[in-house]
Amino acid sequence: MALEYSKEHGQLHFLVIPLGSPGHYIPTMDIAKLLAQHGVRVTIVTTPVSVVRFGSILDQAIKSGLPICFLELPLQYTDFGLPEGCETIDALPSFGMTKALMVAYNSLQQGVEQYIEKLNPRPNCIVSDTFLLWPRETAKKFQIPRIIFDGMSCFTQMCNHVLYLSKAHESVGESDLFVLPGLPDRIELKRSQLPFAFNPGLKDMYDFQQNIRASESEAYGVVINSFEELEKEYADRYQRVKGDRAWCIGPLSLCHKDESEKVQRGNKSSINKIECLEWLDSQANGSVIYACLGSISRVEPTQLIELALALESSKKPFIWVVRAGHMTENIEKWIDEEGFLERTKERALLIRGWAPQILVLSHPAIGGFLTHCGWNSILEGVSAGVPMVTWPQFQDQFYNEKLVVQVLRIGVSVGAQIGVNGALFGDEEKPGVVKHEQLRGAIEMVMGDGKEGEDRRKRAKELSVMANKAIEVGGSSHENMTRLIEDIRNQVN
């Protein structure tokens, strides 16, 4: 592939293209920072609201001289029926608009191609989110190697891989447990817990997934937010599947050491940093359960009430993040009218809106993390050495639960049975019901004093040490980032 780069400086230039969902945008900003720390010039393709919301975390890095800049392009909101300023999935008034948002993101292609056309030399690499299909054409058109990022683990990649090969899910009923064949561990799931790609009911999404697979197969390689030591056998197998062009470069969140960066990661925090830290400082080490169900999951208010009741009856201090946006009024009404706050005020910190998650998780007061099992959250919990209570909702989250509970043995499942993929894309699908007794039982196990709890905590701490080593100079993820950049440099020379 004939490529040029600035011979005077020998500096490579990467174009980084994130997807409009916090769970994708946030780690992509981290990838940009890491690339720049490794001497690569980075241009991030972004839009007017997102550049402020997600880009501000890079202000300090840019001020300190890291070569990062933004290519800000307008998003044609009204053309696609989106409310003004609505650029990410969590900002959509309803999940039914997800498709419109994806189409709106397609319109960035033209602006990006005009930008590339004017550049001499051309960028040396495109790093784009897997769920964006147009960068495939752009990369082809300008003969630029494309690296994809989908924000998932090697474990997930391998679960998907064996299902695509074996089609084992096709011969079982919705709610029958079956074994995913050919994996290093005996992983059993129900079809209803699998990602939407394996749910034939969602035809549109199935087709979309097929296009993604085609696009992935043409990509030069893939970067993964994980570290090899965490899921060694799966990382090795995935490497083989990808012909050695899969680079584990995480945990990405660990590229932020500074409190001021941690507090603004992903959004403006809804709680003042000092207030949050003072509350945490006032709690005993390892005593607090932190409950946050991610940035986009739309958990029914009735289920949130079960969670509130579980937190209350656990008798532990807790932080509960009540996400803004989805039926917020219903749950807020319940909180205010049913005396929940009054009953728990001595030991509760309620964050209404956006929590500074990595700041909270890294505080020694945190003893457990009740999570919806989004991969970023899992890895952030691992990085902080915190055992987890797992309550998966959709997509890769049931896989992540298996990894955490069964393979790594650092978590306890609440026993969710059914995925709610349909709800993610606007279908009228009713989520599975988890009772507060189940939630409380899992919280008590994770926070408990017995040997099982101690062993779980010990394993979580050991993984945290490994995670932190992986990103240091000489660590596996640091080395992988160097290898990736050298690989692209070899394409240029």
Least distance (Å) between residue 6 CB and ligand UDP: 34
* In the complex, least distance from residue 19 CB atom to ligand UDP, rounded to whole angstroms: 10
Contact present, 321 and 356 (Cβ < 8 Å): no
CA distance 65 to 74: 27
Q: What is the CA radius of gyration of the chain?
A: 22
| Residue carrying structure tokens 């001497």 | 39
Do residues 312 and 344 make contact, with C-beta atoms less than 8 angstroms apart? yes
Among 18-26, 166-174, 181-189, 483-491, the segment contacting ligand UDP (CB under 6 A): 18-26
Token pair for 89: 């999935």
Q: Is 265 in the site for ligand UDP (CB under 6 A)?
A: yes
> Least distance from C-beta 387 to ligand UDP, angstroms?
16
371: DSSP letter: E
Residue 31 CB, shortest distance to ligand UDP, in Å, is 13
Task: Tell the smallest beta-carbon distance from residue 478 to ligand UDP (Å).
Answer: 21
Which one among 98, 128, 226, 376 touches ligand UDP, defined by CB under 6 A? 376
For the annotated catalytic residues, the residue numbers are 24, 129
Answer for which of 82, 321, 348, 424 binds ligand UDP (CB under 6 A) is 321
Separation CA 451–CA 142 (nearest Å): 58
Helix then strand then coil, % of the chain, to nearest 5 = 50, 15, 35
Residue of the chain from 43, 98, 377, 383 that contacts ligand UDP (CB under 6 A): 377
Total residues interacting with ligand UDP, rule: CB under 6 A = 20
Residue 374, interface with ligand UDP (CB under 6 A)? Answer: yes
CA–CA distance, 389 with 184 (Å, rounded to integer): 24
Q: Helix, strand or coil for residue 493?
A: coil
Residue among 22, 317, 453, 475 that touches ligand UDP (CB under 6 A) = 22
The encoded tokens of residue 63 equal 């001020």
The residue (of 131 and 354) whose beta carbon lies closer to ligand UDP is 354
Q: Which is nearer to ligand UDP, 261 or 306 (CB)?
A: 261
Choose which of 357, 362, 390, 476 interacts with ligand UDP (CB under 6 A): 357
Asked if residue 384 binds ligand UDP (CB under 6 A), the reply is no
Measured CA to CA in angstroms, residue 435 lies from 53, 448, 477 at distances of 36, 20, 40
Q: In the complex, what is the shortest distance from the CB of residue 167 to ligand UDP, in angstroms, rounded to a whole number?
A: 27
Residue number with CB closer to ligand UDP (61 or 263):
263
Task: Return the range that interacts with ligand UDP (CB under 6 A); candidates 194-202, 232-240, 274-282, 372-380.
Answer: 372-380
Judge whether 96 and 426 are in contact, CB under 8 Å: yes
- Looking at beta carbons only, is 123 or 294 nearer to ligand UDP? 294
Q: Which of 15, 18, 20, 23 binds ligand UDP (CB under 6 A)?
A: 23
169: Cβ contacts below 8 Å, ≥ 6 apart: 163, 178, 191, 194, 198
Evaluate the omega torsion of the peptide bond into residue 135 and state whether it is cis, within 30 degrees of 0: no
Phi, psi angles (nearest 5°) of residue 348: -120, 140
* Options 79-87, 276-284, 376-384, 445-453: segment touching ligand UDP (CB under 6 A): 376-384
| Minimum CB–partner distance for residue 489 and ligand UDP (Å) | 30
Question: Do 188 and 195 meet the contact criterion of CB atoms below 8 Å apart?
Answer: no
Q: Site map for ligand UDP, 279-308, x if CB under 6 A? A: -------------x-xxxx-----------
Give the residue, chosen from 3, 17, 26, 463, that forms a contact with ligand UDP under the rule CB under 6 A.
Answer: 26
**Minimum CB separation from ligand UDP for residue 390, in Å?**
12
- Out of 80, 354, 391, 399, point to the residue binding ligand UDP (CB under 6 A): 354
380 binds ligand UDP (CB under 6 A): yes
- Residues 6+ positions from 207 with CB-CB distance below 8 Å: none
CA 225 to chain centroid: 9
For the chain, give the longest Cα–Cα distance.
Answer: 68
Is position 375 an interface residue for ligand UDP (rule: CB under 6 A)? Answer: yes
Q: Give how far Cα 349 sits from Cα of 136, 264, 296, 418, Å.
A: 45, 19, 21, 30
Residue 355 within binding range of ligand UDP, rule CB under 6 A:
yes
Interface stretch with ligand UDP, choices 115-123, 124-132, 274-282, 368-376 (CB under 6 A): 368-376
The residues with which 70 forms a beta bridge, in sequence order, are: 44
Asked whether the beta carbons of 415 and 434 are under 8 A apart, the reply is yes
Contact in structure between 320 and 348 (CB atoms under 8 Å): yes
Q: Which residues contact ligand UDP (rule: CB under 6 A)?
A: 22-23, 26, 265-266, 292, 294-297, 321, 354-355, 357-358, 374-377, 380
